[in-house]
């Protein structure tokens, strides 16, 4: 469900910000993109499991790789076969294949370099965030290439704005998902680098800026503006509860915010 919401929502976002669009409806290409995003997220998760193996053995011992249920070699085979499968699925669209190939190759190189040198250290979350950022950006670029193919348009500034809006929205989940006042010894949290209040402030500012950009630049009728801002209620309530003394950021809130955000993107696109 999350992958489908991502693919349909972000594709709708491109339509919502594209001044050349008069009508947008998802088609077969969007369905292929949803399957591709689902597979891609699984492959990225496999790479993350390999990179975080030492950490997961301490804090998430039930994960398949950390528990010994699967081996690193098994995930390597999964990644190779899965990459070929998603590239074949998109073979009729060369630009999408090219973007996917770069994204999948980049992810592999990052993890291979980490396995070889141990750098960057998993404890340096901000550095790892910057190193990992190209992967989701390229996945959004893949969706944009599919949108352009279906619409018959050329790339332009609205596409860059849409990717910025989506990345900022996803930034909330990245910052908030492990936010805690009392981390366990060795537990990774952005609060170690940014401070508790600093991390909470950024976790709230990122989706707010994302929604503000979308509301200001959306080409959908003004009556649909609430679709851009209503998802902010989730981080607002979660942030209030956390700042009032809750030990951890409510764990379900980041994912719920993203799902509602993607639904809002799709609604704005359909309103064109």
Give per-residue burial for 102-139: e unless 16+ CB within 10 Å, then b. Answer: ebbeebbebbeebeeeeebebeebeebeebbeebbebb
What pLDDT does residue 133 have? Answer: 95
Contact 237, 215 (CB under 8 A): no
Question: Which phi and psi angles does 12 have, rounded to 5°?
Answer: -65, -35
CB atoms within 10 A of CB 77: 10
User: Of 53-67, 105-119, 190-204, 254-268, which one has max mean pLDDT?
Assistant: 254-268
- Residue whose C-alpha is closest to residue 209's, from 259, 182, 176, 171: 171
What pLDDT does residue 27 have? Answer: 93
- Residue whose C-alpha is closest to residue 172's, from 210, 214, 206, 209: 206
What would the mean pLDDT of 42-55 be, rounded to a whole number?
90
What pLDDT does residue 95 have? Answer: 94
What pLDDT does residue 170 have? Answer: 96
Contact 160, 130 (CB under 8 A): no
Residues 6+ apart with CB under 8 A from 53: 65, 66, 72
206 vs 235: CA distance, rounded Å: 10
- DSSP string across 27-86: -HHHHHHHHHHHHHHHHHHHHHHHHTHHHHHHH-TTSHHHHTSS-HHHHHHHHHHHHHHH
- Which residues pair with residue 180 across a beta bridge? 248
CA atoms within 13 A on the CB side of 42: 17
Rounded to two decimals, the pTM is: 0.93
pLDDT tens-digit readout, 126-140:
998 999 999 999 999
Look at the alpha carbons of 74, 77, 78, 79 in this order and tell me if their dihedral is positive or negative: positive
Q: Is 216 helix (H, G, I), strand (E, B) or coil?
A: helix
């Amino acid at each position: 469900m999350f992958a489908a919401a991502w693919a349909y929502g972000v594709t709708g976002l491109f339509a919502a910000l594209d001044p050349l669009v008069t009508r947008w409806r998802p088609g077969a290409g969007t369905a292929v993109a949803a399957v591709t995003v689902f597979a891609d997220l699984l492959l990225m998760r496999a790479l993350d499991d390999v990179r975080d193996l030492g950490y997961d053995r301490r804090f998430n011992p039930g994960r398949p790789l950390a528990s010994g249920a699967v081996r690193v070699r098994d995930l390597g085979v999964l990644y190779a076969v899965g990459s070929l499968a998603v590239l074949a699925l998109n073979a009729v669209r060369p630009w999408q294949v090219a973007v996917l190939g770069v994204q999948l190759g980049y992810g592999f190189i990052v993890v291979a370099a980490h396995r070889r040198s141990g750098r960057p250290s998993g404890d340096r979350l901000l550095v790892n965030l910057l190193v990992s950022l190209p992967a989701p950006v390229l996945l959004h670029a893949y969706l944009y290439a599919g949108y352009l193919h279906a619409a018959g348009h050329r790339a332009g500034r609205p596409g860059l704005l849409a990717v910025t809006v989506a990345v900022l929205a996803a930034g909330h989940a990245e910052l908030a998902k492990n936010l805690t006042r009392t981390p366990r010894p060795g537990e990774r949290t952005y609060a170690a680098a940014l401070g508790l209040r600093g991390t909470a402030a950024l976790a709230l500012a990122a989706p707010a800026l994302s929604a503000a950009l979308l509301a200001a630049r959306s080409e959908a009728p003004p009556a649909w503006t609430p679709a851009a801002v209503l998802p902010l209620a989730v981080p607002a309530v979660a942030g209030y509860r956390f700042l009032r003394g809750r030990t951890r950021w409510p764990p379900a809130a980041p994912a719920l915010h993203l799902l509602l955000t993607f639904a809002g993107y799709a609604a704005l696109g359909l309103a064109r």
